[in-house]
Structure formats: structure tokens, C-alpha cells
Structure 1
């Protein structure tokens, strides 16, 4: 299952232990305000970087697995 742009659902699924892999895309744009990516999680996530890819646009895709 893929969850796009819903921090609330990610926090709920993460707290329930239902997410094994996290893929995070970083776009090289600085915004003056916003929301924390993992806002609302109750426990510390220990993640291990398993893959990364840099696109010509400068976007970076990071893939982490839960330890």
C-alpha cells in the first residue's frame, strides 16, 4: 500500500507497526512554514537507509526500512 501526503494516517499506521518501508522524496525547495513529516508519531522510529536515488531535477528519493 502507498500513502501519499497524509501525515495523520502515516502516524497511525506507524504507531500500529504496520509500515515496514518508508520512501521519502525530497524536493530542493525551501518553504517558510509547513508540517513535520512525522508529526504525531508516539514512538521513536529506528530507520535504516537501504536505497537512494538522485534525479536530474535534484529530487532525491530515500528508501528506509524499519529496524
Structure 2
């Protein structure tokens, strides 16, 4: 699996990282929304975002997400960063797939409605 991940093209949106240390990695240090719009106009396969709530929110509000996949864990934390904070633009979504793992984790897939 490591060989597959190391071999694919990766884009990292960052305001602090300038030189990536990972094979096939490019840093987007400017307008991320413009960069993703440009990327989506090009031929190719899927673009996946992982690990960035703020980037996911920005892409969702800009209408650049074709699919939103959420893993919901059966744990109540009570504090922490909200996925959809107060004041965020409303984005209607339609549930297109769901699955439940034996651990109780829900795997939910949404598309813009």
C-alpha cells in the first residue's frame, strides 16, 4: 500500500510548508480554490481530500466537492471543532450511500443535492 501512495501525485495545501519531503508532492501555497478549479478542468481521475476540515469546508462552500464521505464514530466528545460551524453557508446534500461497520462506525456518502 505504501508503494501505491508514494507513487500517486499528491497536492498539499499549506501556508507554512514550502518544500514537501514526500515523493510526487506539490505544495499549493496560493489560492487553493483557484488551484482546485483548475485541477478539476483537467482530464484525470478523482481528487481526494484527507485530513483538513477547513479545506473541506472551503471546497464544499465553493461547490467543488462532488462527494462528501464522512465516518461517524459512536463517541460523544462534548468539545472540539465542529465540522459545520455556525455561519457556514448552507449546502444541501443528498445521502447516496451508507454502511455500518461492526464497530458501530457509520460510513456515509453524500453528494450535492
Shifted more, 36-45 versus 57-66: the winner is 36-45
Q: TM-score, normalised by structure 1?
A: 0.84
* Structure-2 residue corresponding to 1:33: 79
Q: Superposition RMSD on alpha carbons, in Å? A: 1.7
Q: Which runs of 5+ in 2 are unaligned?
A: 1-46
Selected match of 1:60 from 64, 87, 106:
106
Q: TM-score, normalised by structure 2?
A: 0.53
How many pairs are equivalent? 67
In the alignment, the residues of structure 2 paired with residue 10 and residue 16 of structure 1 have an alpha-carbon distance, to the nearest angstrom, of 10
Contact residue 14 and residue 41 of structure 1 kept, 8 A: no
Runs of 4+ with >4 A deviation = none
Q: Which has the larger radius of gyration?
A: 2
What pairs with 1:1-67 in structure 2 (closer than 5 Å)? 1-39=47-85, 42-67=88-113
**Which structure is higher in RCO with an 8 Å CA cutoff and minimum separation 6?**
1
Larger relative helix fraction: 2
Larger relative strand fraction: 1
Q: Which runs of 5+ in 1 are unaligned?
A: none
